[in-house]
Amino acid sequence: MPSSALSHRRGAARVSVIWLVAVLLVAGVALYLAFSSQSAAKAARTEAEQARSEASEAKKAMAVEAEFAAKLSKSVGWTDPKSANPRSSVDALLASLTELKKQLPDLGANADSLQAALPLIGQALKERADQVAALEERANGLSNELESEKTAHRSSKEGKDAEIASLNQRVSDEAANAKQTQDELQARLDKSVAERSTLDEQRRALEKQLDDAMRAHRSRIDSYEARLQQMKQVVAFAEPPLADMPDARVLAVSDKLGAAWIDIGTNNRLIPGTRFRVESGGAGAKRTKGTAEVVAVDAEQAQVKIGDLADRFDPIVPGDVLVNPVYDPTGLRHAVLIGRFSGNYDEKNLRALLEKMNIKVQDKLNLETNYLIVGSEMWTDADGQALDAPLSPAELPAYKEAESLGVQIVPLSEFRSYFKM
């Protein structure tokens, strides 16, 4: 057999096998699909039977619920009678419950349902019934009391009529007495009017005295205010820049004694105990070195005790300056002399001594006066005429005026100690 024929047969055999395999596959798929369709149909029938059973149960439950709803609506009310299947209106029920709570405020906010409201309504109705019963009982009692009062009133009226007749007689008698009393009162009124006129005159006189006193008081206040302004001017030295000006200069220093001597004394109104701030006296910026306290005073110089050194390597030396903001050695002061002055302190010597201390002697008191220096008792008056009895300076008008103005009063016996002489 030729080779070409053999190849042709082999090819035909292979095609036959392929077709056989394809047919078998198609047959298998068809059997599988047929089997699957039978299983799905069986499952669908089972589900349909179960759905019909559940629908039947649901229909029975709905019938039971509908019957319960109908019974509940019939019991609750608020239904539409024309409806084939009447049900209670929830909105109408809530609106009625709200209106009921308005009519019965005692129900409170907790009565938000019929179940909660009905016991409260019953309790409220019982309380109202008890109140009505109590009111009826009270009304019966009041009716009985009214009848008793009517009976008592009739008896009282008869007694009052007799009493009125008696009172009318008394009124007639009292009218006659009242006429007499009226005449007496009129006489007393006339007398009171006259007394009132006198009192009005006294009141006007007192008002005038009060006005005079107020004007005098106002005048004194004005004097005090003017005096205060004058005193402010006197202490102006304690305000910057005068307060920071040097008041004295160091003349000598003793490191061993811790002391120094300065160039001011009693002639500059310096007294022991006065404290100063010690500052550098050289050129350049001022610096505080320490403090100095006056311990001994002469006429033109004084000894001071050194303390509170700021730097022991920068000691206080001659030429340094002393500063005290409230120390005033040169400010002009004014004084008035009253009384008798004799001996070492006659008026001439006293005036000279005061002038030396920059204290000007005035002839009479005014707002500038700082001191009233009081001498001894006087035996003669202002005209030089002898007096029957000695006159104390405290009795003079100037003394009382000095007290009212707040002027410093210095007796002559205290003159030396007061001015530290």
Instruction: Identify the CATH number of the domain in which residue 411 sits.
Output: 3.40.50.10190
CA 242-371-241 angle, to 5 degrees, is 5
Residue pLDDT, tens place only, 268-308: 878 888 899 999 987 777 889 999 999 999 989 999 999 99
Using CA atoms, how far apart are residues 367 and 227, in angstroms rounded to an integer?
5
Q: For residue 64, is it within any domain? A: no
Count up the domains in the chain and report the number: 2
Q: Could you say which residues of the chain have pLDDT below 70?
A: 1-15, 74-78, 80-85, 101, 106-112, 114-116, 217-244, 326, 330, 417-421
Q: For residue 361, is it within any domain? A: yes
State which residues form the domain around 389: 333-418
Kindly state whether residues 319 and 353 are assigned to the same domain.
no
Which of 300, 323, 346 is the endpoint of a domain?
A: 323
Residue pLDDT, tens place only, 78-92: 676 666 667 777 777
Kindly state whether residues 257 and 303 are assigned to the same domain.
yes
pLDDT for residue 303: 96
pTM equals 0.34
340 in Cβ contact with 376 (< 8 Å): yes
Q: 367-377 burial, b for 16+ CB within 10 Å, e for fewer?
A: bbbbbbbbbbe
Which of 323, 343, 368 is the endpoint of a domain?
A: 323
Q: For residue 187, is it within any domain? A: no
Six token digits for residue 404: 């009212």
* 421 residue type, one letter: M
Kindly state whether residues 337 and 414 are assigned to the same domain.
yes
Q: For residue 124, is it within any domain? A: no
Kindly state whether residues 341 and 366 are assigned to the same domain.
yes
Q: For residue 311, is it within any domain? A: yes
Six token digits for residue 94: 């809530």
pLDDT for residue 261: 97
Q: 36-49 burial, b for 16+ CB within 10 Å, e for fewer?
A: eeeeeeeeeeeeee
Which of 267, 290, 323 is the endpoint of a domain?
A: 323
Evaluate the omega torsion of the peptide bond into residue 325 and state whether it is cis, within 30 degrees of 0: no
Q: For residue 365, is it within any domain? A: yes
Output the domain CATH number for residue 290: 2.40.10.410
Kindly state whether residues 307 and 364 are assigned to the same domain.
no
234 in Cβ contact with 331 (< 8 Å): yes
Q: For residue 81, is it within any domain? A: no
Q: For residue 358, is it within any domain? A: yes
Six token digits for residue 310: 């700021």
